[in-house]
Amino acid sequence: MSIKQFFKNSLPLPSKIKSHPKLKFFGNLLHEPNLWHLNRRSLSGGMAVGLFVAFIPLPIQMLLAVAAAVWLKVNLPLSVSLVWITNPVTMPPLFYFAYQLGALILGIPIIETEFSFSPEWLLYTLGNLLQPLLLGCLVLGIVSAAIGYLAVNFLWRLQVIKLRKERRNRKLSNHKS
């Protein structure tokens, strides 16, 4: 199966995304053909956008992915799908890892705290954990976006090389017959 066919089979239908009620305010911007193309540039860009936005610790990741995909004219279904890497199950360990990474980069000790539903705990937690969390999320977002972008480009290139080789072999076998 080609990489293009893999993405075509894996991504949600454009009609499903275009009709999503929370995306109506994007209006005709969602009808831009480049948002739905399955080519190397669109898919690698969509991969980068989706992976970067997945590490933004906000509850509006899908809207941010749509906005970035529209602005950059990259594959919108892939961008939106990838933000679900951080879902209610994976979010706690991924964001805890981001916090640890941020604390390591900043050279500050990791704070172990127990959850307490109080204004004092919330202010203390936000004040002490937010900076390393945001830095860790930024680093993980950039690194994962770069790796995703390069991986799609590499796999696409391998597919092109394979198809050229197959075409060349067919030509040679036809000339010999």
54 closest CA partner among 93, 82, 90: 82
Structure-token pair, residue 61: 């990741």
pTM of the model: 0.80
Which pLDDT score is estimated for 36?
79
The DSSP-derived string for 54-69 is HTS-STTHHHHHHHHH
Tokens of 146: 């770069």
Residues 78, 3: Cα–Cα separation, whole Å: 13
Q: Determine the Cα angle at 135 with ends 153 and 123, to 5°.
A: 145
Residue 49 · residue 69 · CB < 8 Å: yes
**Which comes out higher in pLDDT, residue 6 or 109?**
109
Give the dihedral sign, CA 125/131/132/136: positive
What tens digit of pLDDT does each residue of 71-94 get?
A: 999 999 899 999 999 998 999 899
User: pLDDT exceeding 90 applies to what percent of the chain?
Assistant: 51
Looking at the structure of the chain, the number of domains it has is 1
pLDDT tens readout for residues 94-137:
998 999 999 999 999 888 777 666 777 767 777 778 899 999 99
Domain carrying residue 128: 3-176
68 and 79 Cβ atoms separated by less than 8 Å: yes
Do residues 43 and 78 touch, judged by C-beta distance below 8 A? yes
